[in-house]
């Protein structure tokens, strides 16, 4: 049985960005919101889900995460704004 894997981008209110991958987006978002995640996301309050992709292939998810992380900021911003031009929080709906 295959599960789902998510590549996601979080942003702070001042638009610091964090790219991650997980097999449980809801759980991972609660970890970020509760400050149980890496120091960067906790320090800069990077907790707003502004972009995500879903796949059933774990290797594809990991490769996509690496690809997005290697991009310049402007390309990441363009990706976010292609589906979420107002940078709304896709997890909390605000």
Say if 43 falls within a structural domain. yes
Residue 73 lies in a domain: yes
Domain count of the chain? 1
For residue 36, the domain's CATH number is: 3.40.1440.10
Q: Which domain holds residue 71?
A: 5-83
Per-residue pLDDT of the chain (94 residues; tens, 9 = 90+): 469 999 999 999 888 999 999 999 999 998 888 877 667 777 778 889 999 999 999 999 999 999 999 999 999 999 999 999 999 999 986 5
Assigned domain for 58 exists:
yes
- Has residue 94 been placed in a domain? no
Q: Is residue 93 part of a domain?
A: no
pTM for this prediction: 0.91
- Domain annotation covers residue 69: yes
Say if 88 falls within a structural domain: no
42 and 18 Cβ atoms separated by less than 8 Å:
no
């Amino acid at each position: 049985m295959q599960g789902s894997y998510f590549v996601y981008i979080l942003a702070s209110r001042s638009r610091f960005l964090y790219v991650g991958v997980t097999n449980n987006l809801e759980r991972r978002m609660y970890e970020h919101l509760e400050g149980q995640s890496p120091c960067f996301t906790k320090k800069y309050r990077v907790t707003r889900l502004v972009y995500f992709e879903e796949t059933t292939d774990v290797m594809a998810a990991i490769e996509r995460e690496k690809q997005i992380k290697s991009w310049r900021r402007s390309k990441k911003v363009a990706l976010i704004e292609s589906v979420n031009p107002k940078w709304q929080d896709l997890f909390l709906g605000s």
